Structure 1
Amino acid sequence: MTRYHCAVVIPTKNAMPGLKPVLQAVLAQEAPWPFEVIVIDSGSRDGTAEYVRGLSGVRLIEIPPESFGHGRTRNLGVEAADAQYVAFLTHDARPADPHWLANLVAAAEQDSGIAGVFGRHIAYDTASPFTRNDLDRHFEGFLAHPLVVHRDLDPQKYENDIGWRQFLHFYSDNNSLLRKSVWEKIPYPDVEFAEDQLWARAVIEAGYAKAYAPEAAVYHSHDYSPLEQLRRAFDESRNFKKYFGYELSPKLFPALATIAHFSVQAFRQKLDETRYGKVSLRQRLDRAGQRAGLVAGHFLGANHQHLPKPLAGRISLDNRLFKA
């Protein structure tokens, strides 16, 4: 018999000061059942561990920095949780209201075959109009499909349509929840990237379902510089090719054409001013640079095997990927 109905697990490293409002929002959750909060810190030097240690109602687990792994550390959190369900947040994803956790659990409790649930992301008010628009459009797209999906919705499409498979295994541990009894059979893979989507693919292929909970929203967004976007896209492309077989912008001339297209689009795209405000020239320039970094990173990541390893390691945000 589990002690808690749900646990919330948050991996951290040097997460201050943004972690404070996240934990405040988590501890303020209103639910008709007991839940626990677990923070797993991997060697913070900015006072994160000390802050968490001083909170009542939060359990701190400390691990050496070298033992951190996106899948491995989340497995540690699920194993430590004395709960039927385990929700994940990142340290910069703040629940949007006091019902976030109850809404995640309610989505899972629709059917015992639902292995995992992911919730909506809302951009912070400080995000650029383009970032806010991108997030809104991305999550609004899920509303065009059933909120609970599984492979048997269309088995033939699952076998033949790569886009449909990508849709079915989209999953984000910035805001998610899993059923621990399923995790006991299918734990997270011990990988450095895309552990959430790899797990979602595994449970879908095992015959389980996945749910989207649009009412379980968190504030989470980033406005990356062109270089930050390039480096993140490099890791994304490299690992999507490795783990899923997807090639993102693998050819040079189509990639250059896409950069040109995105650059023009950045200056022509019209956004709803009542929703996002007036777009400045500076924001359009930033958008053009960011989109160029995205495509360039995808191209370099898809062709990383042709790059000198020291260069690939310098481009990667997580150069542990290139040490083996």
Structure 2
Amino acid sequence: MYRFAVVIPTLNGGHTFERLLASVDDQILKPNRKIVIDSGSDDDTVNIAKKYNWEIVLISKEEYNHGATRQMGVKLVTDCDIVVYLTQDAILTNSETLTSIISNFKQSDIGAAYGRQLPHLNARPFGAHARLFNYSDKSMVKSIDNAAQFGIKAAFISNSFAAYRINALLSVGGFPSNTILSEDTYVAAKMLLAGWKIYYNAEAQVYHSHDYTLLQEFRRYFDIGVFHSRESWIREKFGKAEGEGMRFVLSEINYLWKSGNSLLIPEACIRTFIKLLGYRLGLKENIIPHRFKCLFSMHKKYWIRKNMA
């Protein structure tokens, strides 16, 4: 059996974080290493991690970076074959979740695997639909051979619950330290181009969803646009995101109608406009003054670091 580690970056994890650690404790297949990388929490996050006997690495808020912090995790677990990443607000749904995700690596050409994310029980319709749209109930294996079938979604993966074969991850250079977000998509695209396959396992499940405000949607999609602008090779190799966006919009309206939330359809249309505006501005970020990038972005520290570089 593979040696594997679970790594969780944290910042003020709150009550959900303890539920996550309890769900890891309940797993039939136990991790060989359990590491929390905390970036300056001022709540009980570190004490909770100690209570559950996790290894703790402390960094400052300024040091945190989506890719670099996860790459730090890779360097900490070179005694393992696989590293599993979770975010602090994801909860494993049952005791066999880790067994299921690790089993995918029996295929020697699987470089990464990710599981299905189900909406939290109290999720609003928008957050719930996003999970149901992006994470189907059917498992699949994605490779460069069938990438055209999936388009931009070929490189889709989520570090809220994803596992990586460490030698495959290192073979494509590991996680990038200079992306605003989507370090997982970056690595997945690199793996596919290098001949590795990515397994989506619909049976390995976590509860994880977000209820974003309109402003948060704008800022998140601005950052996604920035990522696609700066990593334009992904769109060139796998296709543009706009077509997938249209599928999402139609699916969301249908979901709201059928779930008895038709009164939310006008808000859905506003959200679509806000997301598209944010994304388009992100794609054009090279002509936007720096102070506006800081204003528009969800990840403001990225721009502060860029300005200081």
- Shared fold by TM > 0.5? yes
Residue among 188, 191, 194 paired with 1:206: 194
- Picking from 101, 106, 113, the partner of 1:104 is 101
Aligned to 2:291: 310
Q: Residue 133 of structure 1: CA displacement? A: 2.7
The 2-side partners of 1:265 and 1:166 are apart by 17
Alignment partners' CA distance in 1, 2:241 and 2:83: 32
Q: CA deviation at 1:293?
A: 1.9
Question: 2:25: which partner in 1?
Answer: 27
Query: Unpaired segments of 5 or more residues in structure 2?
Result: none
Tell me if structure 1 keeps the 8 A contact 2:133–2:251: no
Q: Which amino acid aligns with 2:194?
A: A
1:18 aligned counterpart, secondary structure:
helix
Q: Percent of counterpart pairs with the same letter?
A: 26
Q: 2:62 aligns with which of 43, 47, 66?
A: 66
Aligned counterparts, 1:117-196, within 5 A? 117-140=113-136, 143=138, 147-151=140-144, 153-154=145-146, 161=148, 164-186=150-172, 187-191=174-178, 192-196=180-184
Q: Which residue of 1 aligns with 2:217?
A: 229
Please state how far the C-alpha of 1:104 moved relative to its aligned partner: 0.4
Maintained 8 Å contact 1:237/1:248? no
Q: Distance in 1 between matches of 2:141 and 2:192?
A: 11
Change (3 A) 1:190 1:96: same
1:46 paired residue among 43, 47, 63: 43
Q: Secondary structure at the match of 2:12?
A: coil
Tell me, what secondary structure is at the counterpart of 1:130?
helix
Once superposed, what is the RMSD of the aligned Cα atoms? 2.8
**Conserved? CA contact 2:225–2:280, under 8 Å:** yes
Q: CA deviation at 1:287?
A: 2.9
Q: Is the 8 A contact 2:126 2:211 kept in 1?
A: no
**CA displacement at 1:165 relative to structure 2:** 4.7
Normalising to structure 1: TM-score of the pair?
Answer: 0.81
Q: Which residue number corresponds to residue 111 of structure 2?
A: 115
TM-fit CA distance, 1:128:
1.8
Contact 2:85 2:159 in 1 (8 A): yes
Partners of 2:253 and 2:177 in 1: CA distance? 42
Separation in structure 1 between the aligned mates of residue 31 and residue 76 of structure 2, nearest angstrom: 16
State the AA in 1 paired with 2:261.
V
Q: Are residues 239 and 98 of structure 1, via their aligned partners in 2, closer, same or farther at CA, if it must alter by over 3 Å?
A: same
CA 1:268–1:183: 2 relative to 1, 3 Å: closer
Mapped to 1, the partners of 2:31 and 2:265 lie a distance apart of 47
- 1:85 matched residue in structure 2: 82
Cα distance, 1:308 vs structure 2? 2.2
> What TM-score results when the alignment is normalised by the length of structure 2?
0.85
Give the aligned length.
294
